[in-house]
Amino acid sequence: MTTILKIPLKAADEAFIRGLREKYPNAILHIEAEESQGEKTMNEDQFWAIISLLDWNKEKSEDILRPAVQALSQFSEIDISTFDDILAAKLYALDGQRFAEQLGSNRYLKEGKRHFSVDSFLYARCCVVANGREFYEQVLQNPSEMPKEYTFEPLLSLARKAYQLKTGSDGYDYLPEVWYETFSNPEGWLGIAPLKERIHPKTREEIWAEAPRK
């Protein structure tokens, strides 16, 4: 499967190229020059292109994330928040009883005879997204494909780490427009009262206007 990642040429620094070389040692680099149509470039395709950079040949989560973090850090700060929004929407779509019932030892039982870890279910949903677009769409269509015992919580920190790498600041406090905690999706949990909608006191524009720039 071909991975297409579009970033400004000026952002393709040595660290970024080195990360691509490690991830795709036999790849052919194709350069297509075009005039920029605006700074905001993050979209669905770019989201999945960044997810595809997760390096599963590594063992430590930090090393697995590194190529994706480096790639996302080349985008604008607004794009980084958009990436977080897309991730949140993917996790929200998987927040449902039909998916939770397909887990292994943490599977959801409507009768409540077994402890159900809401955090573990969230991290299992992260694992679905982290395994790429094709697997994600398979699970959406067939909940029985849910990972039984696998989770990947570190995915939630990808945007924050990219922001830190880009700005040198730990001040990433963006909250996605869609909330993805377990029991947040009312369509996924019929008959169960959803969590109250989380409201952030500031708009996205206000957050980024106050954020430090590099």
pLDDT band for position 36 (cuts 50, 70, 90): very low
Residue 36 belongs to some domain of the structure: yes
Would you say residue 42 lies in a domain? yes
pLDDT at 6: 57
Percent of the chain predicted with pLDDT > 90:
61
Question: What is the SS3 string spanning 92-141?
Answer: HHCCCHHHHCCCCCCCCCCCCCCCCCHHHHHHHHHHHHHCCHHHHHHHHH
Domain count of the fold of the chain: 1
Q: Tell me which residue range forms the domain holding 96.
A: 9-210
Residue 147 forms part of a structural domain: yes
Which comes out higher in pLDDT, residue 1 or 42?
A: 42
Read off the pLDDT of each residue in 31-45 and give the average, rounded to a whole number: 63
> What is the pTM for the complete model shown?
0.75
Please give the sequence-ordered ranges of beta strands (E in DSSP) within the chain, or none if there are none.
none
Higher model confidence: residue 148 or residue 8? 148
Q: Is residue 3 part of a domain?
A: no
Residue 207 has pLDDT above 90, yes or no: no
Q: What mean pLDDT is predicted for residues 83-103?
A: 97
pLDDT at 62: 96
